[in-house]
Structure 1
């Protein structure tokens, strides 16, 4: 066996090569890779051929500290301990000794970042932790980016990731959150509960975008409620909660829906701070509002002017709730459509991406050409193919393919948005297929989109059920009709030939009408007389 090569002590700080025992090498305290991973394959390779690529080490405290090559050192040490070292080969590993890096902790961290990124990628949180260490050494974002060969935006997002908590770093390491998505989460840095809610049960950045959009809306509503509450309390108005059965089955009523006994309207501003009155704050989809109420209108002698229905108050409330839910769903669908549009451009807005929909687009052009005549979103088409449909006049085959796919996507989106907005469409049945196709291609439906799809499926099932019942009813009617005809045929008396006496007159042999040939034109008769 060959003994380890002693590290020479040159007068200069120039790097040099040395053969060192891997078991005597010391791991770097700032090692970015927290887990070395499975070393089985690397250990087997070392057992067969040894270590071919030099580790990078720094001479410190009478030994050598690893900067790059922790996995190689660990695998080599395991092979030695197990007696698996190549026969006749020195029990050492080649090392590039860097005296010039002694005491330069930032440079050592930079080296680990660069070296690891050139091999098996660091996790997002490991890389972010490395940038954070460099920041502690006094390096700003621009300098970190320069030294690591990264863009400043990348470094900034990574540094933000270190401040977002364990839920965000775990999601980043699992591939559910990219550094590009971190900017979306930064505004919730001070709200770990919301952060965890956003990251829960999402599988991609699209799901995060949907949830961020929804939490942003909720925060906006919460801020609006706080502002209205402060304004009302400053004016001496009592804030009251909506009573059970509001607004159709309770004593409380809105002041603007009341009149005095003599039919005079009541000014809400004049009574809002008086005893027996208050304000209800109502949360809306992305805002909030308030209205003044009278706690007991009848005790003031007021009469109600609100709408009156023959249905029960509970039925009316249910109808209003359904309408409000549908209105909110439409607003959510508009919000989701903006996210979905980004996906469409990213997924199909290239020649390669368009090919995935080309056959489907050609099928529509042949079988359902009328569907492609929908009002077209020209901006969406431009984002998808970088041009206008009029280019098809002179375009070649490849360009025509992209234009056709862009036209199909635009028609599908117009059809989907028409139905989402409550408008009629002759092609409502295509929406479920369209959303399913996008889901297959990697898009994650928002809750609103999933709700719309479920509603469309339920409507189609209800339609089919109604058709089936109608067909059954028609079949029963035809069966009953056939039974009646069969019954009548069986009970009908036989037809008997009756011979009339000769003196009887057949209807066709009656005496001629004496007036048959008379001129029936009264005017002419009078003139002749």
Structure 2
């Protein structure tokens, strides 16, 4: 045993954690995380515990029970200890523990990331840093990316965002306004941050696609106009017009001629563009004679329902991305919730339609969630995974069951949830997943207004009929409601989404 005398009353010595006595501690629960134990296993206990010699010669530890228990778990049987005189009273001992715990300030995420960056500059890889410190490589990688971004670093140090939240901001650092709204979302609604960020990502992707199309048409010398509104009586689709002699116009035949223009917009179908003629009467064109369809108008309630339907369908698409990312992380846990296997068993024996669809698709969703990809003509990776690692059997069963339920969801789920859908989303919520507003609808929970969402994903007004020039109103949720009464005809859809209405 090595002993170093530091004063007449205090000395430092190494003790065997299996032989010490641990006094009652102010900590009622000892959280021996995997990372904590891994760090001790690799580096040993660095900060000495505090104890005093007992009458039987064994050291009684007053402060440091977590380090002692962690050392036993890590099988590191030499722990440094400050050996001090026994406390005069029980009250003094407790005061020592409170002071030691209260005054030990944990490193912030920003400080950790800065230290990781220094280790990287010293030549350590992400894997090496994670291994040495008992961190997850994904977290270290996120921290290094945050340090390299001024916007993300400021979000962590000034606004107390987590590394994962700050990492999201990097993709928006060219737009200070979006960065500000994301910081507000992280502060005011941290549980919903992932959903809000994904909606912004999707909307930004859509906006960029629209801008790219407009730029492409402009470079070809084609005039680009705003999508005509319902009250525009001078602009019509090329397909809806004819010459004075009754011959119909075609896109191929009229492109580049007087009044021809392209309009691009976002609708429930995705990003689409159409060919129009502006001021068509002045160019000697006309609309075919009316069909005699009765004239009607949509009520404000129907218009509101229509806007809600479009907005919720978009929100569902964003939520699906977040949900599946969460499921992949959930299935990577070492230990799944106790009710996960019973849930899986219920799905496998009772939800035959969902399971049959998953089988027909070779469990594509389950493979995606577990990080695999099915290749036609080959054996599914799931079987070898269980064969080579039987401990993964439960995880694979849960993955297959959850993926079967997940694969059966669609944009129709929020409008017409079945009892199976309710059971599935209830299970996800019980396992710690934060439902978005549109997913709350599956469980019958009405959304609460969120100030951060007020400007989210603008609804295309051109998709909503105007009272002054509308055919007979249709059910806002029917396919007929998606047609354009004034500008009927084919539309070039850039991002077709067939999983909608």
- TM-score of the superposed pair, with normalisation by structure 1: 0.48
Higher helix share: 1
Which structure has more relative contact order (CA 8 Å, sep 6+)? It is: 2
- TM-score of the superposed pair, with normalisation by structure 2: 0.50
Larger radius of gyration: 1
